[in-house]
Amino acid sequence: MIEKTVMVTNRLGIHARPAAMLVQKASKFKSEIRLVKGALEVNAKSIMGVMMLAAECGSKLFLRAWGPDAEQAVAELTDIFESKFNEE
C-alpha cells in the first residue's frame, strides 16, 4: 500500500469542481484508492464519497492506494492537491 499525506490549501475546500477533478483522475487507475479524513474513509472514485468528506481549506487528508499502479496514482493525485485544483 502507498500512503501519502495531502493538505487542502485552496480557499473553498473540496467543493464540486475539485471533487470532480479528483474522481475523474482517480477513476483512471486500476488500483483501489481511498481518501481519509479523521475517522472517515471514502473511495476516491466515488463522487458522493469525496463530497461527503467536506474537506475545507486547511484539512489534512491521507491518500491510500493498493494495486499495480498505486505509486503513479498517488503521485498524480498529490499533484492535483498541490496545484490547488487549478483554482488559484
* Residues 74/29, Cβ–Cβ less than 8 Å: no
86 lies in the site for other proteins, by CB under 8 A: no
Nearer Cβ to other proteins, position 20 or 75? 20
As separate numbers, helices (DSSP H) first and strands (DSSP E) second, the chain gives: 3, 4
Residue 13, φ and ψ in degrees, nearest 5:
70, -160
28 lies in the site for other proteins, by CB under 8 A: no
20 lies in the site for other proteins, by CB under 8 A: yes
33 lies in the site for other proteins, by CB under 8 A: no
Residues with catalytic roles: 15
